[in-house]
């Protein structure tokens, strides 16, 4: 039996539950891989009534989910009641979102799920509950480290058929980026990126381009010393590791079609340098992937959209892409293990 994908609840007051229900309704037309939702059956029963015709839902365990998926949306209980209404997070929101992530990680590490796809969370809601991680990426790495006893450096990749980008620094104010950059961080990010491109995307010799931090990649020091002192040595070290890396290159010429044809992923020095081009090219179908984990994790590249939660107006394109990519990457990883 095909192992299903674990889909987390996300922020229950957001559009994550709506999208899970909408995709199950269209599962045959979209030819989706089987998935189950980590949540609360009563909550999903009530939410489904708001977003269209009644659907069949069934309490499930991961082992049963693929078979159930044909006739009902499988819901694996997280052991936490969920009462949030669309657009209105409540006291159950944070505990339920966290419980869903933790259980999903347990399932995928235990081999019960092929991969985990995380629905969007509301970070401000989690922070108010005492959540200390910056976001999903860091929390998943912590859970993986706790479970395996091995430290994990998570790397965020935004992927689409048009472009794959990896921000070396992520959620930092722009003024803090130069101090946060160092050669070791760039090398480790590039190494993990190349490793996962080979292992999970089955790219035999991944080509990595590295964007410069400053305009014109620093103009050999005339527009900032970081590219010459920090970025260029990192590229040379990546080459010595046997990775096909180039850079630092001016970021303003890296993302037109002819340039994109010359690499498999672009390492960018800060958040917007990476996310502006991919959101311009693939706003509705880009997928967030966490590299460097002992399991496959993808996520739609959008937020909770509280303003349209419960209306059935959310665009499912990114979640469709996240589910399909998770299934593809998990299959590649399984094939590599067999080999």
Judge whether 1-154+293-332 and 162-281 match in fold: yes
How large is the average pLDDT for residues 6-25? Answer: 96
Res 250: pLDDT: 97
Res 295: pLDDT: 96
Res 51: pLDDT: 84
What pTM value is reported for the model? 0.92
CATH of 162-281, one of 3.40.50.1820, 1.10.150.120, 3.40.50.150, 3.40.718.10: 3.40.718.10
Res 70: pLDDT: 96
How large is the average pLDDT for residues 64-82? Answer: 97
Cα–Cα dist 324/321, whole Å? 5
Cα–Cα dist 157/288, whole Å? 6
Each domain of the chain, given as residue ranges in start order, spans 1-154+293-332, 162-281
CATH of 1-154+293-332, one of 2.40.110.10, 3.40.718.10, 3.50.50.60, 2.20.25.90: 3.40.718.10
Q: Is the pLDDT of residue 119 over 50?
A: yes
């Amino acid at each position: 039996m095909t192992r299903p994908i674990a889909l987390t609840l996300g922020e229950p007051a957001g559009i994550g539950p709506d999208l899970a229900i909408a995709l199950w309704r269209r599962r045959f037309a979209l030819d989706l891989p089987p998935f189950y939702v980590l949540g609360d059956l009563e909550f999903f029963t009530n939410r489904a009534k708001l977003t269209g015709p009644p659907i069949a839902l069934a309490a499930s365990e991961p082992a049963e989910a693929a078979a159930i998926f044909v006739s009902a949306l499988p819901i694996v209980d997280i052991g936490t009641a969920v009462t949030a209404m669309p657009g209105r997070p409540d006291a159950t929101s944070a505990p339920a979102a966290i419980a869903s992530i933790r259980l999903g990680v347990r399932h995928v590490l235990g081999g019960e799920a092929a991969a985990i796809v995380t629905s969007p969370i509301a970070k401000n809601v989690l922070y108010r509950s005492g959540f200390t991680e910056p976001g999903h990426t860091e929390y998943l790495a912590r859970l993986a480290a706790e479970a395996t006893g091995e430290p994990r450096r998570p790397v965020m990749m935004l992927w689409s058929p048009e472009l794959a980008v990896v921000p070396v620094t992520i959620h930092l104010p722009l003024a803090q980026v130069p101090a946060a950059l160092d050669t070791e961080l760039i090398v480790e990010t590039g190494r993990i990126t190349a490793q996962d491109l080979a292992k999970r995307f089955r790219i035999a010799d991944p080509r990595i381009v590295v964007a410069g931090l400053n305009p014109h990649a620093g103009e050999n020091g005339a527009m900032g010393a970081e590219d010459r002192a920090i970025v260029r040595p990192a590229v040379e070290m990546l080459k010595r590791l046997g990775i096909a890396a180039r850079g630092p290159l001016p970021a303003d010429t890296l993302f037109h079609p002819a340039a994109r044809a010359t690499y498999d992923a672009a390492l960018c020095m800060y958040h917007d340098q990476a996310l502006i081009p991919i959101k311009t090219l693939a706003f509705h179908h880009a997928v967030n992937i966490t590299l460097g984990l002992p399991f496959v994790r993808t996520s739609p590249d959008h937020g909770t959209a509280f303003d349209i939660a419960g209306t059935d107006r959310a665009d499912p394109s990114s979640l469709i892409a996240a589910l399909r990519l998770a299934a593809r990457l998990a299959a590649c990883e399984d094939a590599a293990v067999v080999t």
